[in-house]
Amino acid sequence: MPQPVNEFGLISKYFAPLADGYAGALGLKDDGALISVEFGYQIVVTCDAIVCGVHFRSEDRPEDVAARGLRVNLSDLAAMGACPVGYLLALAVPSGTDASWFERFSAQLASDQATYNVKLIGGDTVMTPGPLTLSITAFGQIPTGQALTRAGAKPGDKIFVSGNVGDALLGLKLLRGELGSVSASQAAALKNRFLRPEPRIALGQALIGVAHAVIDVSDGLIADIGHICTLANLGARLNISSVPLSLGARAVLGDVPDLLPNLLSAGDDYELVFTAPSSALETLSRISSDTGVMVTEIGEVVATPGVVVIGVGGDEVQMEASGYQHF
Amino acid sequence: MPQPVNEFGLISKYFAPLADGYAGALGLKDDGALISVEFGYQIVVTCDAIVCGVHFRSEDRPEDVAARGLRVNLSDLAAMGACPVGYLLALAVPSGTDASWFERFSAQLASDQATYNVKLIGGDTVMTPGPLTLSITAFGQIPTGQALTRAGAKPGDKIFVSGNVGDALLGLKLLRGELGSVSASQAAALKNRFLRPEPRIALGQALIGVAHAVIDVSDGLIADIGHICTLANLGARLNISSVPLSLGARAVLGDVPDLLPNLLSAGDDYELVFTAPSSALETLSRISSDTGVMVTEIGEVVATPGVVVIGVGGDEVQMEASGYQHF
């Protein structure tokens, strides 16, 4: 039988333990929290909200909601090269939500906190007559003046992406039952890529002083490269044949080749896309090896604004490159 | 005719101007924002979410929603003695929301930013099938180790409150049409106290080194005094006859005296309640004069746990002291 919950009970039972070990959280018992910053460091702060029915599905497990909510924020910190420290959680929950939901939700947060070395330091839990809405503000630290930004791309820079592109979209399609012919293990891997995005934290930090411009893929590969280009008033040439695809994605494309453009326009992969000079190639190879994250050169920055996609045959491909509009 | 809006247009038109003058906001164009902290200072951070239909009414104007969302957070910073610096705004908006709503909402934020000397530095705007939900994370700075907290009350401390108590509840009742016989000017003043809470920022900062424990009244006077007592494992005696009431509140109570207990249990006043030793009385008198904020002694901290309310005749009054449960 569902157990009733109240705000103070929720905080003491499920959330205060997540603040253990961060003295400035004041046990989540005060009006705010205290963040101390080492001399020579800045704070990097980012905020992402996710809404049930929009950014995740009502049938998603509380564990998946927790992981997604936290990790998309950590991905933003990664894209700036920051070392994650903590986060605040604003949770608007439907009144029917029972204790077991909070139990599972907070257990996943605890697990992710251990993985990514972050602590909950504050937040707010409120009731909503609407869908579950989760807003996280994450913060990290970085040596002053060293933050990676989306600006700074230079003509002639090579464009790189971490990991594989498009898996998250295929995972979502599998979860929706829109794709059939994939092996069970490949299907599980693709679904996991959607449900459990992997913030590229070590890679982001390693790119300090190496990359000129960095963004995480949340609007779609082409759109996010476009964001970098727009800020520098430059353009990009993206080679389709260089875009890294997982074995699972290749298997799907073998059956449904028309999906390729969708993979390049889909968000949710949370890989890092960045530009760096050719001279950085050797360094990037070492970084890839050190962090265990594949890094692939997929194009270059050019003077002419706009993102041009080059097909397998070397011709320009016309694509709808608007990317995901969050709103 | 309502104009369509999209995420990137919203950010550039309405929100990016609110970040002007804070370099670390990176024009709201990046994955995160950068906060620099002066040597010898800490960051104080707080987070409050408000939901349409729960924390404000669907008929409230966008200006009121903006002011409320920002000010309740600034009140938390005030209660810790921090100097406000900036905030992040996570906004989940129903899809039918038109451009004029954002125009008015952002104009009020701009006005409050000027009043309280803060800047928008980041956030997220997403669509929701549910009610408008606004989550703000505000941050300020404070000399390291100087933050006021809810802990630290000592036996024999006097208890003080800023401003008047209960106006916000009466304002809400007036807005709901639940109260009749108040003059137009008093009604306007009371409504304003609900719609536009006034964060006691200067007072909070002045209380550093003076107050032992501080909280802002958001759960209700008795409940919030209870929070302070619980953390110190102490109790309090609260003298009803000392509780400061506005002329408007006195006028209402003249007609409906039974409302007094409600005023002591109602949240939303966002006044500061704090404890300080008797020896601080003269200092507090000067602080009150300097900040232009009335400060009234309303009780004392005692060894026996629990909050005891002393009536006009000197007898203990039994009250329902649970306060506002946010969830």
At A88-104, the pLDDT tens digits run 999 999 988 989 999 99
Residue B309 to residues A201, A316, B66, B175, B265: CA-CA distances in angstroms? 54, 79, 36, 29, 12
| Whole-number pLDDT of residue B5 | 62
The domains located in chain B, with CATH, are 7-143 (3.30.1330.10), 158-317 (3.90.650.10)
Q: In what order do the strands lie in the sheet with B83-94?
A: A33-35, B41-51, B133-143, B83-94, B119-128
A89 to chain B: nearest residue by CA?
B47
Contacts of B130 (CB under 8 A, 6+ apart): A51, A128, A129, A130, A131, A133, B92, B94
How far, in Å, CA of B61 to CA of B63, rounded?
Answer: 5
Determine how β-strand A306-310 pairs with β-strand A235-239: parallel
- Owner of token pair 């970098």: A228
pLDDT tens per residue, range A9-65: 888 899 999 999 999 999 999 989 999 999 999 999 999 999 999 998 888 999 999
CB-nearest to A30 from B5, B49, B149 is B149
User: Are A44 and B37 inside 8 Å of each other by CB?
Assistant: no
- Owner of token pair 């909280």: B215
DSSP class of residue B147? Answer: -
Alpha helices in chain B, H assignment, sequence order: 7-10, 62-79, 99-116, 167-175, 184-195, 201-206, 221-232, 247-255, 260-265, 281-291
Q: Looking at beta carbons, which residues of chain B come within 8 Å of A31?
A: 46, 76-77, 79-80, 149-150, 214-216
Judge if ipTM > 0.90: yes
Residue B239 to residues B140, B159, B243, B300: CA-CA distances in angstroms? 34, 10, 7, 9
For residue A262, the distance in angstroms to the closest alpha carbon of chain B comes to: 21
How confident is chain B (327 residues) per 10-residue block, as mean pLDDT? 64 94 94 94 96 91 96 97 98 92 97 98 95 97 97 97 96 90 90 95 98 95 96 96 94 88 90 98 98 98 96 82 47
User: Are A327 and B150 inside 8 Å of each other by CB?
Assistant: no
User: Are A128 and B130 inside 8 Å of each other by CB?
Assistant: yes
State the best of B35, B135, B219 to mutate against chain A, taking most chain A CBs within 10 Å.
B135
Query: What pairs with residue B160 in β-bridges?
Result: B274, B297
How far, in Å, CA of A270 to CA of A78, rounded?
Answer: 10
How far, in Å, CA of A33 to CA of B137, rounded?
Answer: 11
Q: Which two tokens stand for residue A152?
A: 């700074």
Q: Looking at beta carbons, which residues of chain B come within 8 Å of A149?
A: 26, 30-31
| Whole-number pLDDT of residue A34 | 97
